[in-house]
A and B are shown apart, each in its own frame.
Chain A
Amino acid sequence: MIKVINLKKSFNNKPILKGISCEFEKGKTSLIIGQTGSGKTVFLKCLLGLHTHDEGQIIFNKSNIQQMNENQKMELKSSIGTVFQGSALFDSMTIEENVMFPLRMFKNMPLDEMLDRVNLVLKRVELENSNKKMPSEASGGMQKRVAIARAIVNNPSYLFCDEPNSGLDPKTAIVIDNLIKEITEELNITTIINSHDMNSVMEIGEKIIFLKNGVLEWNGSKSNIFKTDNQAVTDFVYSSNLYKKVRKMYLEQ
Chain B
Amino acid sequence: MTLLHNIGLYILMLQKMFQKPTKWRVMKDLILKDTEDTVVNSLGIISFVSFFIGGVITIQLALSTTGSFYPDYLVGYATRETIILEFAPTIISIIMAGKVGSFITSSIGSMRVTEQIDALEVMGINSINYLVFPKVIALLLYPFLISIAMFLGMLGGMVACVYGGYSTMSAFIEGIQTDFIPFHMTYAFIKSFVFAFILATVPSFHGYYMKGGALEVGKASTKSFIWTSVSIVVFNFLITQMLLG
Is A80 interfacial (CB 8 A cutoff)? yes
Taking a contact as CB atoms closer than 8 A, the residue among B20, B110, B122 that contacts A48 in the complex is B122
Residue numbers in B under 8 Å from A89 (CB-CB): 116
Minimal Cβ-Cβ distance residue in A for B114: A86
What 1/0 flags go to B117-157 for Cβ under 8 Å of A?
01101111100000000000000000000000000000000
Return A201 CB to nearest CB of chain B, in Å. 24
Is B25 interfacial (CB 8 A cutoff)? yes
Which of B20, B25, B26, B123 is most buried by chain A, counting CB atoms within 10 A of its CB? Answer: B123
Does the CB pair B122–A105 fall under 8 Å? no
Which of A's residues lie within 8 Å of B, judged by CB? 48-50, 70, 73-74, 76-78, 80, 82, 84-86, 88-92, 101-102, 104-106, 160
Does the CB pair B123–A105 fall under 8 Å? yes
Does the CB pair B25–A104 fall under 8 Å? yes
Residue numbers in B under 8 Å from A76 (CB-CB): 124
Does the CB pair B122–A74 fall under 8 Å? no
Is B5 interfacial (CB 8 A cutoff)? no
Residue numbers in A under 8 Å from B20 (CB-CB): 70
Taking a contact as CB atoms closer than 8 A, the residue among A70, A77, A85, A92 that contacts B122 in the complex is A77
CA distance A50 to B33 in the complex (A): 28
Additional A-B contact list (15), CB under 8 Å, known A77-B122, A88-B115 = A48-B122, A49-B121, A50-B121, A74-B124, A77-B124, A78-B124, A80-B122, A82-B119, A82-B122, A86-B115, A88-B114, A89-B116, A90-B111, A91-B116, A104-B26
Which of A48, A76, A84 is most buried by chain B, counting CB atoms within 10 A of its CB? Answer: A84
Return B129 CB to nearest CB of chain A, in Å. 12
Does the CB pair B122–A49 fall under 8 Å? yes
What 1/0 flags go to B77-89 for Cβ under 8 Å of A?
0000000000000
7 examples of A-B residue contacts, CB within 8 angstroms = A50-B118, A50-B122, A77-B124, A82-B122, A104-B25, A105-B123, A106-B124
Residue numbers in B under 8 Å from A84 (CB-CB): 115, 118-119
Does the CB pair A91–B122 fall under 8 Å? no
Q: How many residues of B contact A (CB 8 A)?
A: 18
CA distance A78 to B124 in the complex (A): 6
Residue numbers in A under 8 Å from B125 (CB-CB): 105
- What 6 pairs between A and B have smallest CB-CB spacing? A77-B124, A88-B115, A88-B119, A84-B115, A74-B124, A82-B122
Does the CB pair B23–A104 fall under 8 Å? yes
Does the CB pair A78–B123 fall under 8 Å? yes
Minimal Cβ-Cβ distance residue in B for A102: B123
Residue numbers in A under 8 Å from B26 (CB-CB): 104-105
Does the CB pair B119–A77 fall under 8 Å? no
CA distance A85 to B113 in the complex (A): 12
Residue numbers in B under 8 Å from A85 (CB-CB): 115
CA distance A77 to B121 in the complex (A): 9
CA distance A78 to B125 in the complex (A): 9
CA distance A48 to B223 in the complex (A): 31
Residue numbers in A under 8 Å from B124 (CB-CB): 73-74, 76-78, 106
Residue numbers in A under 8 Å from B116 (CB-CB): 88-91
Does the CB pair B114–A91 fall under 8 Å? yes
Return B36 CB to nearest CB of chain A, in Å. 12
Which of B23, B26, B115, B124 is most buried by chain A, counting CB atoms within 10 A of its CB? Answer: B124
Residue numbers in B under 8 Å from A70 (CB-CB): 20
Minimal Cβ-Cβ distance residue in B for A160: B122
Minimal Cβ-Cβ distance residue in A for B107: A92
CA distance A86 to B114 in the complex (A): 7
Minimal Cβ-Cβ distance residue in B for A154: B123
Residue numbers in B under 8 Å from A160 (CB-CB): 122
Taking a contact as CB atoms closer than 8 A, the residue among B23, B33, B114, B123 that contacts A77 in the complex is B123
Which of B22, B33, B125 is most buried by chain A, counting CB atoms within 10 A of its CB? Answer: B125
CA distance A77 to B123 in the complex (A): 5
Does the CB pair B119–A105 fall under 8 Å? no
Return B203 CB to nearest CB of chain A, in Å. 17
Residue numbers in A under 8 Å from B119 (CB-CB): 82, 84, 88, 90
Does the CB pair A105–B23 fall under 8 Å? yes
